[in-house]
Structure 1
């Protein structure tokens, strides 16, 4: 076994272990605060959905490549390739949809009372769980066609010019029905995240301008829970967008350059797995910071 294969296998295995641990810790901690806190948090179902999707993406993207490099073999078989790649596509699609929902719903939550979005605030909690369910159904339907074009890789030279070598599986290169609907979904979701992020930035700026003359003995404007939550979501969306765009660039290169190296698949997969690995630790850090500042405020004597 080559040293390169051992190193890549260990890197992917470590990334999976760290990511799954972080997402599991976040779900456990968030579940505890969910039942122990009396405060309503409408974003809880979406955040839990993102963490569960992260675990799925880490397993179905990272495990095949880690095992491929460590064993240097084609172990999935035809049915295994179809199932793993289908789960990968559904998980990826659900991740971008739920991140878009998170950004859009947070923009509604922080919208001023005089804006056109304010009328949706009261009804927002009723739409969160149905929206998450519809995202699962929608992505499972539009990704069904992918199973027809994924085949088992028989040997290291079995990939033809009409196929894309995914190392552990092969995929046909020119697939209009496989690309058009997921591409439209991705463009709409990324566009929505872009515009809602701009809206949230301007809303936070206007909020800061309005309250900067107010002196609080407890919380500064930047430590209000709503502001902290919005800042966290903006950072989360930014990390997702950067990792997604870089990964898409490598994927397009793999699709349109016939003699591209196998390293493209490895690098693209590693980058796309950065978001599900980093995001739970970012959220845990932000939630801990907010909880500590609120506790300090509560314990401080008011004069």
Structure 2
């Protein structure tokens, strides 16, 4: 068991280090691009929000488990447990909302001029920043009840039922109304991601059909970047939805199976942290302007 704790602690520490490094690199590349070109593209504020949220999730969800396994003890205390888990829940909710915003706004961006979504294009730049701010406020409010029902694990009897052990914290209301509103939020935004992703796939297919007879060198300069950006966002949303669904499956297993073992929490957390770890490297690799700016800076 000691060897297991050491291995799991090292795995989480490595995942956090790689994820924080990737998100920090993207933010540095964005800052260099902003100061060198003196302009920002439509989706860049959302991407910055996503990277900041990824760092919050990595620290608040991964670090407690890594330290728990490496130190083999309860180190947060009751107040620390409440604060860290609240920040984790807000960050997780904001990550869902931000990814959904990214998908929705990109679907509006690539919508044909004759579609019903085209009329929103002119307002897109004005509503991005207010939308990000509203997402923060919305998630901070909807998760306000989380600290009330979180407590330090060592102060809870191991036979206590009705909740869920998270190794370093204990959720007393895991099976009750604490999860209703966050679950409705998750279902709504994940469903919206799936719908807009389907719309973007359909739009890309129609675009491919229209330009199939034209040689790639004859395409207009703005067509290829939009298609590439859409493919990147589709890949991001796909990774997020897959990781979210798998993580939810393990979470439900942990909630409803009493003697599920600590490995379920470890696997659930590892899968949940895959998106904030992978997404910055995907964006740095796929977004042409950002990659070129990074190379020029280095």
Interval of TM-score (by shorter of Structure 1 and Structure 2): over 0.9
> Partner residue of 2:277?
277
- TM-score with structure 1 length normalisation? 0.91
Unaligned runs of 5+ in 1: 293-303
Give 1:87 deviation, angstroms: 0.6
> Partner residue of 1:168?
168
1:132 matches 2:118: no
> Partner residue of 1:10?
10
The aligned runs of 1:54-69 (5 Å cut-off) are: 54-69=54-69
1:53 matches 2:53: yes
Give 1:259 deviation, angstroms: 1.6
- TM-score with structure 2 length normalisation? 0.93
| Helix, strand or coil at the partner of 1:259 | coil
User: Per the alignment, do residues 8 and 216 of structure 1 end up closer, same or farther by CA in structure 2, a change over 3 Å counting?
Assistant: closer
| Helix, strand or coil at the partner of 1:122 | helix
Name the stretch that deviates more: 82-91 or 31-40: 31-40
Which whole-Å deviations, capped at 9, do the CAs of 1:43-76 have from their partners, x for residues lacking one?
Answer: 0000000000000000001110000000000111
2:174 and 2:107 map into 1 onto residues whose CA distance is 38
> Partner residue of 2:114?
114
| Helix, strand or coil at the partner of 1:151 | strand
Give 1:160 deviation, angstroms: 1.4
Name the stretch that deviates more: 93-102 or 215-224: 215-224
Give 1:282 deviation, angstroms: 0.4
The aligned runs of 1:231-242 (5 Å cut-off) are: 231-242=231-242
CA contact (8 A) 1:89 1:143 kept: yes
1:252 and 1:168 map into 2 onto residues whose CA distance is 18
Give 1:288 deviation, angstroms: 3.8
Name the stretch that deviates more: 203-212 or 17-26: 203-212
> Partner residue of 2:295?
none
User: Per the alignment, do residues 103 and 227 of structure 1 end up closer, same or farther by CA in structure 2, a change over 3 Å counting?
Assistant: same
Give 1:156 deviation, angstroms: 8.9
1:176 and 1:162 map into 2 onto residues whose CA distance is 8
CA contact (8 A) 1:159 1:165 kept: no
> Partner residue of 2:123?
123
> Partner residue of 1:225?
225
CA contact (8 A) 2:162 2:175 kept: no
Give 1:255 deviation, angstroms: 1.0
User: Per the alignment, do residues 183 and 104 of structure 1 end up closer, same or farther by CA in structure 2, a change over 3 Å counting?
Assistant: same
CA contact (8 A) 1:232 1:283 kept: yes
1:284 and 1:202 map into 2 onto residues whose CA distance is 26
Aligned residues: 292
